[in-house]
Amino acid sequence: MTADPVYDRYLIRLVDRLWAYRYEAFGTDEGLFDGPRRRPERAPVFRPGSGDLNVLVPPEADPAAALRIRRVIPPEGRHDYFGSMRSSQALTQSVFANLQASGELAALAGWADDDGLPIFSDGEVGEMRLEHTIGHLREPRPTQIDVWFDGTTRVAVECKLTEAEVGSCSRPRLHSDDPGHCDGTYRRQQDRAARCTLTEIGAAYWDFLPRLLTWPADQDLSPCPLHHTYQLVRNLLAACVTANGDIDPDHGLAVLLYDDRNPANHPDAAVGSAWAQVKGSLHSPGLLRRCSWQHLLGHLRRQQAATWLLQALETKYGLVGTAG
């Protein structure tokens, strides 16, 4: 449990729902799952080899069709906690892989963010990929985009469910004796030539950040603005920096897709404040958007798309599309 009772209540309500779904969908078969609910926040976890079942598929799908949907992200591309029913990656695959498999991606053409602004300004969804690798930012570990749309506009979607933060830089979490450790400030440390330890090992983030945000690369910053905004900023760079190293913000967009029941997304909480920090620092604020799962599912309902999926998401996660 965390130090935030509001977040803990949200999490336990969701986990209660997931345990009810576990027994409704799979009965008393304990062989598929890795043990009982030892802690209030522990969701059902599929055993290794059964993780495919965490991805929803149409009830009428034959085994071959179900496997194709469940292997859109192959096992080697799954996160460590993919087997948990709390996995945002499994939720993401359930939604977008099924839209792709059913030929209903076009239903996203009119998708708008929480402010009513279109995600695809020209109505062209383009090609969609899950866990898309961005290889041109010279990162030690390339950015993986949860959902990537490659059309007239490059759209990088970061998907969250129960996460309590948006994804922070790992370098301050290293032991202080580690050569790559950072103290959370943007300044030269441990005799490094660069202010950022990631710049020191070749990552190109700070080559581009001042051209997108009001974050100067040539002066000390305390705290480092990248510390708690790291994953959002990587998505932004993925969308706005082209493979040949040019900045093209006119055809790039980053979107945060989140559960609006999760209090971590409130303005004064970790995810909400990180999003606001990046949004407020952009030269062009429209490059970063956010949309709740509930808002997206409401759009799909109005398009009369994937009706079985909407019911399944409500049954499993309690996710219900918003009206209007």
Residues 82, 75: Cα–Cα separation, whole Å: 9
Tallying the residues shown for the chain, one arrives at 324
* Stretch 215-243: mean pLDDT: 97
DSSP 191-260: T-SSSSHHHHTT--HHHHHHHHBS--SSS-BSS-TTTTTHHHHHHHHHHHB-TTS-B-GGGEEEEEEE-T
Distance CA 287, CA 107 (A): 22
Which pLDDT score is estimated for 270? 97
Collapse the DSSP code of 307 into the 3-class scheme (helix H, G, I; strand E, B; otherwise coil) and give the result: helix
The string of pLDDT tens digits covering residues 165-186 is 999 999 999 999 999 999 999 9
Q: What is the mean pLDDT of residues 150-170?
A: 96
3-state secondary structure of 77: helix
Interatomic CA distance for residues 180 and 189, integer angstroms: 9
pLDDT score, position 47 = 96
pTM: predicted TM-score of the whole model, two decimal places: 0.96
Nearest to 184 by CA among 228, 145, 140: 228
- pLDDT confidence of residue 146: 98
pLDDT at res. 122: 85
User: For residue 1, what pLDDT is reported?
Assistant: 78
Confidence (pLDDT) at 123: 86
Express as a percent the part of the chain with pLDDT over 90.
95
What integer is the mean pLDDT of 21-44? Answer: 94
224 pLDDT tier (thresholds 50, 70, 90): very high
pLDDT at 208 over 80: yes
Each residue's pLDDT tens digit, 246-287: 999 999 999 999 999 999 999 999 999 999 999 999 999 999
User: What residues does each domain of the chain span?
Assistant: 5-168+228-317, 171-212
Q: What is the pLDDT of residue 14?
A: 98
Which ranges in 246-306 belong to alpha helices (H)? Answer: 270-281, 293-302
Per-residue confidence band for 78, with pLDDT thresholds at 50, 70 and 90: very high
Per-residue pLDDT at 323: 80
Q: To which residue do tokens 């559960």 refer?
A: 259
Structure confidence at residue 324 as a pLDDT band (50, 70, 90)? low
* Distance between start and end Cα atoms, the chain: 35
Which residues lie below 8 Å from residue 228, measured CB to CB, with a gap of 6+?
165, 166, 168, 169, 270, 273, 274, 277
Would the pLDDT of 62 be above 90? yes
